[in-house]
Amino acid sequence: MKKYIEAADIYKTFHLGKHEVPVLRGASISVEKGEWVALLGASGSGKTTLLDIIGTISHPDSGTLSIDGENMNDYFGERLVAFRRKKIGFVFQSFHLLPELSILENTMLPGLFSRTSRKNLVARAEMLLERVGLKERLMHRPNELSGGEQQRTAIARALINDPDLLLADEPTGNLDSKTGQTILSLFHTIHAEEKKTVIMVTHDEKVAGAADRKVILKDGLTFKDGMIS
The predicted pLDDT at position 1 comes to: 52
- Degrees (nearest 5) of the Cα angle 126, 107, 36? 100
Q: For residue 222, give the nearest of 71, 59, 41 by alpha carbon.
A: 41
The predicted pLDDT at position 226 comes to: 40
The predicted pLDDT at position 223 comes to: 78
Q: For residue 38, give the nearest of 189, 208, 182, 186 by alpha carbon.
A: 208
Question: Over its length of 229 residues, how does the chain's per-residue pLDDT go in tens digits?
Answer: 568 999 999 999 998 888 898 999 999 999 999 999 999 988 888 999 999 999 999 999 999 999 999 999 889 899 999 999 999 999 998 889 999 999 999 999 999 888 888 999 999 999 999 999 999 999 999 999 999 999 999 999 999 999 999 999 999 988 899 999 999 999 999 999 989 999 999 999 999 999 999 999 988 887 764 443 3
Sheet holding 197-202, edge to edge: 88-91, 165-169, 197-202, 36-40, 213-218, 221-224, 227-228
The predicted pLDDT at position 219 comes to: 85
- What is the pTM for the complete model shown? 0.91
- What is the rounded CA–CA span in Å between residue 71 and residue 183? 32
Angle between helices 177-194 and 147-159 (to 10 degrees): 20
Residue 115: DSSP 8-state: S
Class of domain 5-228: alpha beta
| Domain spans in the chain, listed from the N-terminal domain onward | 5-228
- What is the rounded CA–CA span in Å between residue 214 and residue 60? 22
